[in-house]
Chain A
Amino acid sequence: MNYIFVVLVENKPGVLNRVASLFRRRNFNIESLVVGRTEDPAVSRMTIVAECPNGEAAAHRIEANLYKLINVIDVQDVTHQPSVTRDLALIKVRVGPERRAEVNGLAEIFRAHIVDVAADSVVVEITGTEDKIESIIELLRPIGALEVARTGKIAMTRGQNDGVRRLPGMNGNQYDEMMMEMAEMTP
């Protein structure tokens, strides 16, 4: 299954490379990785969606290995936390004036925007969950050939809750329940 990690890193050259290289070297699969600035110019925020074939254990490994990178400040797993996740897509539909209204109609239903109109194409901008974006793409496909650009997922927990931090000792974390449960897990 896919896990979603929110990772704060120092905003320094090469940090993205270090993170990407770590995933490659440790044979973890990245579904998507988004990086951008934050409220603090010294800090960048990554949202990493990664495949965790054996669930919690894999998530633990990813987290522990991320902390080996000196530039990593904080890692939270927001997979199971109430959180807002968003993906943004630009979808170019090859469509002449005769079917433009259909595209308009769909955009309205999905609360998407038409951000460019040309003689034989329009560009739809949509923000939302992956599901929502997948559905509009599927509905637009029969109307005209598509070109799609997507940002990949960004995530933020709701309210004051943080995501799960599994590693004790990092940022003053204490051992969490997961660690305690591990104590009782037998092979």
Chain B
Amino acid sequence: MKMRGAEIVWECLTREGVDVVFGYPGGANMPIYDAMLNYPVHHVLARHEQGAAHMADGYARASGKVGVAMTTSGPGATNLVTGIATAMMDSIPTVFITGQVPSHLIGGDAFQEVDVTGITLPITKHNYLVMHAEELAETIREAFHVARSGRPGPVLIDICKNAQVEMCDFVYPELKLRERQSAPSPRVLLDEAAHLIEKAKRPVILCGHGAIISGAEEELMKFAVQTQTPVTSTLLGLGAFPASHELSLGMMGMHGESHANMAIQNADLLLAFGMRFDDRVTGVPKTYAPGAKKIHIEIDPAEVNKNVRVDVPLVGDLKSVLRDLLPLLGEYDHEEWKQEIAAWKAESDSRNIINWEDDGKLYAAHVVNDIWEATGGAALVTTDVGQHQMWSAQYYLLDKPNRWITSGGAGTMGFGLPSAIGAWFAAKNEEVWAIVGDGGFQMTSPELTTAVQEGANVKVAVLNNRFLGMVRQWQEFFFEKRYSAVNMLTPDFVKLAEAHGIPARRVTKREDAAEAIEWARKTEGPVVLEFSIEMEDAVYPMVPAGAALHEMLQRPMKA
């Protein structure tokens, strides 16, 4: 059948199961927007293209499906860049569709021409420049496959304007791609792994984002319980293993639980499941888990032996490797090891602000804990980047995967609100909370109108410390408290919300927090809560840059 390029775009998107896209129109993608009206797709108009990118990202993280964002050429496309890089660093399956000037003008600096495939080359898994309509169908088909297969990631398709209006035959193509499946793990390596696991007296599982992407929760649980191995998670791995389980140690790394970090440093075996030994989880690599053998199960062979030398590499999808490995394992128990960790945990608990007597001050920990209690730990939580992000990771304890949406690898401020809006489209029946800092919130707060326009039921908790808190903390610890450019005047967030037609409240006292949260939960549609929290509280524990994982700064005990 003959069709216009712009129609082919939608034919292909709908066949990929896309029913919502996030975007912003402009000169170079008008034919696509025009054709959209004839297709059963809901379009969400962001207020900035970065917002659209984060929405697609949030949608993908919450749904496990491919998120789609589209923009015009030039500035529309460059505004996506931060969002694409964010998705790249966290392996999020996304497809970005940008308009481009007509193919005969490419390279001539036409109005709103920017070399988008050039700019995004290092921050996409792959990208395409489509010059003619005939290339569209195959390209889009391949793009979706690339975005979601193997280690997922963002793919960008730059479509010249002429390709959007050209007529050509449309046949939905077969996927033509070389298979790049992992070879099954060889028996010797599996045996070697099983042998190390059997011998281990002090094993720890390091659970990463890969566990969630792979959908390996069940195998992970089986593995942990059968071998009685404690589990600690990376920031993005949270939720793969229930936080309430007795084997759960919580988060590891720079702001990880001190007992988790102590366990890693004292382990004799690390089982790295779908994680990449990022510098935020290892501290100084030379000092990392010195006594531990390491088994690394990872789908991306480029991550094996990149940051940390491992003893047994098993390259492949975590779920299937664990399925191969489980039958080779016996039942073990590590009572002594668990006791030892419990003693460390008791020490962490004594330094946990939540366990301290109320001193009348409102700490972020209280707020996050109250949200957690009110929502029964079942909400979908997105965050921005900074102190509040770490406090959310520490205090919003997750028992389920795909509910924790945060920019890990890129650490992108401004991510919280738009990703929450995107996530809501994937989980309209669930409670969605965006926990943001006053700095990051101001980067993308115009998306509040988007939430209103879409009726997105997103609750925003602004943890306002009137500082760029995380930077302030570093200045306090490592720059002799010389505060430079971290003092931040903030608008009246309640009025700001109300200007958007959003109900809002400010909370300044600890005893009012729970009630305000309840009010927000009962109120239909988006709500903003501003919490005036302690200005100079710090995230503990903290592994300073250049230190070993066990050399943590701990919260000082109360005088």
Residues of A within 8 A of B (CB): 13-14, 17-18, 21, 25, 57, 60-61, 64-65, 67-70, 73, 167-175, 179-180, 182-187
Contacts and interface: CB of A to CB of B under 8 A. Distances in A.
Contacts, number: 75
Given A21-B121, A169-B180, A174-B186, 16 more contacts: A17-B118, A60-B304, A67-B301, A67-B302, A68-B302, A168-B301, A169-B183, A169-B315, A169-B316, A171-B178, A173-B183, A175-B186, A179-B189, A180-B189, A182-B305, A183-B192
18 contacts: A13-B129, A61-B305, A64-B300, A64-B301, A64-B304, A67-B180, A69-B126, A70-B126, A73-B178, A169-B181, A169-B316, A175-B186, A175-B189, A179-B189, A180-B186, A180-B188, A180-B189, A182-B313
B183 A172 contact: yes
Pick the most buried of B146, B304, B312: most chain A CB atoms within 10 A of its CB: B304
B361 interface: no
A70 B302 contact: no
B476 to A, nearest CB: 33
B317 to A, nearest CB: 10
A183 B188 CA distance: 9
B323 interface: no
A61 B183 contact: no
Interface residues of B, number: 32
A174 B122 contact: no
Given A169-B316, A175-B189, A57 B183 contact: no
Contacts of A168: 182-183, 301, 315
A57 B188 CA distance: 21
Interface string B450-463: 00000000000000
B117 interface: yes
Contacts of B482: none
Contacts of A14: 117, 129
Interface in B291-318: 293, 300-302, 304-306, 309-313, 315-316
Contact of A70 (B146, B181, B300, B305): B146
Contacts of A21: 121-122
Interface in B147-201: 178, 180-183, 185-186, 188-189, 192
What 5 A-B pairs are tightest by C-beta distance, nearest first?
Answer: A64-B302, A169-B182, A168-B183, A187-B309, A64-B301
B505 interface: no
A114 B189 CA distance: 58
B259 interface: no
Interface in B120-135: 121-122, 125-126, 129
A180 B302 CA distance: 16
A129 B472 CA distance: 59
Contacts of A186: 293, 309, 311
Contacts of A184: 311
A57 B305 contact: yes
Contacts of B310: 182
A46 B185 CA distance: 30
A171 B117 CA distance: 27
A68 B155 CA distance: 13
A179 B301 CA distance: 11
A61 B301 CA distance: 8
Given A64-B304, A169-B316, A174-B186, A185 B309 contact: yes
Given A169-B316, A175-B189, A183-B188, A60 B183 contact: no
Given A57-B305, A70-B125, A167-B301, A183 B180 contact: no
A179 B192 CA distance: 13
Contacts of B178: 73, 171
Nearest to A172: B183
A18 B183 contact: no
A165 to B, nearest CB: 11
A25 B309 contact: no
A187 B309 CA distance: 6
Contacts of B306: 61
Contact of B121 (A17, A67, A170, A175): A17
A112 B258 CA distance: 70
A94 B127 CA distance: 48
Contacts of A172: 183
A171 B189 CA distance: 20
Given A61-B306, A68-B302, A174 B313 contact: no
A70 to B, nearest CB: 4
B440 to A, nearest CB: 27
A28 to B, nearest CB: 12
Nearest to A13: B129
Contacts of A173: 183
Nearest to B151: A68
Contacts of A185: 309, 311
A70 B118 CA distance: 16
B121 A18 contact: yes
A174 B189 contact: no
